[in-house]
Copies of this chain bind each other. A is one copy, B any other.
Amino acid sequence: MPERTKVALVGIGKIAVDQHVPAIANSPDWELAATVSRHGSVPGVPAFTDFAAFLAERSDVPVVSLALPPVPRFAYAEAALRAGRHVMLEKPPGATLAEVHELHALAKANGLTLYTTWHSRMAHAVAPARAWLADKAIRRAHITWREDVRKWHPGQDWVFEPGGMGVFDPGINALSILTHILPAPVHLTAATLTFPENRQTPIAAALTFSGNVTADFDWRQTGPQTWDITVETDAGHLALRMGGNVLEIDGQATAGENTIMGEYPALYARMAELVATGQSEVDLAPMTHVADALTLGRRDVTEAFHF
């Protein structure tokens, strides 16, 4: 087995602990060589609280994975690229599209890898769904992405602050799958965004795209949660359920594994491949659809939301 590549993980919050750390620990490609976080750390791994100190002291670590929230992430990514490190970005890859364009240009100019990850694309049934749709004519598609924000972001007011994206925080996962499995691109033609009267970001959104593609995002669903994409084609009906983990063709389950535990190992395997081959993967399509929805959407105001 070849020597594993050292990676530093920046931002030791819930997603890092739940997903990034076990994915790295179980990978044949990677060694977690350092963490950078104000408060978090990983047992047995050198912990930095200051990113500049990490960059100065650990030139032996060629790759940085950023699991920070999007708003502060640019400064870390830029510093890492300027220090000659390859960079892997949690989703969404930034707070703005323009900053990711800048990072991409910087990575290119320095011969470094930049990878804008979309973990939901690595869900178990997404690749078979994409393969099945590749030669079909799409008649219509619909996303239903309805979950309970109180369950998934308890007390996290930042999701309703500017840049927090509101219901697009989960909705962008659906869009990352949609843009990956459809054989041709679509564009938004109309949207209705529902803002709680006391909040800065939408709690629900209804989107209409070209090609009879629609999406229904809602963060107010209690009880069973729904993460479904259905596609009608000239040769049958596809349903991708449980956030891309269960595939049904004409109502028959063909692949299914109700867990996201395979997504992050697949992201890290892909990053290893990109670094080894000197490539970047920067796909802004999901984020572009969100920006388009916030640009073109009609704004409705609904009752105040409190956690």
Q: Which of B190, B191, B292, B299 interacts with A98 by CB under 8 Å?
A: B292
User: Which residues of B have CB within 8 Å of A298?
Assistant: 162, 200
- Is A187 a contact partner of B288 (Cβ separation < 8 A)? no
Say which one of A61-69, A99-107, A129-137, A246-254 lies at the interface with B: A99-107
Given contacts A185-B98, A288-B97, A288-B101, contact A295 B294 (CB under 8 A): yes
- Asked whether A289 is an interface residue with its Cβ less than 8 Å from the other chain, the reply is yes
A15 close to B (CB within 8 Å): no
- B290 near A295 with CB under 8 A, answer yes
Residues of B near A163 (CB, < 8 A) are 295-296
Count of chain copies: 2
Chain B residues with CB under 8 Å of A291's CB are 97, 288, 291-292, 294-295
Residues from chain B with a CB closer than 8 A to the CB of A190 are 162
Q: Does A188 contact B (CB under 8 A)?
A: yes
Measured CB to CB, the closest approach of chain B to A89, in angstroms, equals 15
CB atoms of A99 and B187 under 8 A apart: yes
Report the bound CA distance from A99 to B299 in whole Å. 21
Q: B-facing mask of A76-96, CB < 8 A → 1, else 0?
A: 000000000000000000011
A-B complex: 5 closest residue pairs judged by Cβ atoms: A98-B187, A291-B291, A96-B292, A99-B187, A162-B298
A-B contact sample (13 more), CB < 8 A, given A98-B288, A195-B299: A95-B189, A96-B189, A96-B288, A96-B292, A96-B295, A162-B297, A162-B299, A163-B296, A290-B295, A291-B291, A291-B292, A291-B294, A291-B295
